[in-house]
Amino acid sequence: MKRFLLIFFGLCMICNVYAGDIESKEKSDINYDNKEGLNMAITINLRYTGTGGNARAFAEEMMSSGTVDKIRAEKGNLRYEYYVSMEDPETVLLVDSWTDQEAIDAHHASPMMETIATLREKYDLHMTVERYVSKETPKSEEHFIRK
């Protein structure tokens, strides 16, 4: 588990999720009404765990069904990406980032949530959830980030 966390936090530093600099989309490509911009982004890490390869099959079906593309097109979505654990092949991490709580609430009220819930049941997945509010990278940490 320690190794997974080290890899995970290393990935976060590389992706700047921990630091809050969201660079997966250019600012001009982001469609949002939040006047405070990316500093207010909310990132939710969901770990889906199953057996027999079900977590990976779930993520693959989410992608192949077009559900992921629909979620990424929702107003306020900044990132919706799956990652496979190198330590635990039965766990898939979803990094899900939104401009603000209103965007998350709209997503939770969308038809995609029924699709997600149905697929979670189909693949018998269990979840853990962590929630983060992004901040700008402190000057003291900038030298750790290779851009």
CATH number of the domain bearing residue 88: 3.30.70.100
Exposure class string for 34-53: b at 16+ Cβ within 10 A, else e: beeebebbbbebbbbbbeee
Residue 50 placed within a domain: yes
Residue 20 placed within a domain: no
Residue 61 placed within a domain: yes
CA angle 57, 59, 64 (to 5 degrees): 90
In this prediction, residue 39 carries a pLDDT of 53
Residue 47 placed within a domain: yes
**Residue 14: pLDDT band with limits 50, 70, 90:** very low
Q: What DSSP character marks residue 100?
A: S
Residue 94 placed within a domain: yes
Q: Model confidence over 15-29: pLDDT tens digits?
A: 333 333 333 344 334
Count of domains in the chain?
1
Q: Is the overall model pTM greater than 0.75, yes or no?
A: no
User: Does the pLDDT at position 6 exceed 70?
Assistant: no
Provide the residue range defining the domain that includes 76: 39-135
Q: Model confidence over 74-126: pLDDT tens digits?
A: 999 999 999 999 999 999 999 999 999 999 999 999 999 999 999 999 999 99
Residue 141 placed within a domain: no
Residue 3 placed within a domain: no
Q: Model confidence over 31-73: pLDDT tens digits?
A: 434 434 445 799 999 999 999 999 999 999 999 999 999 999 9
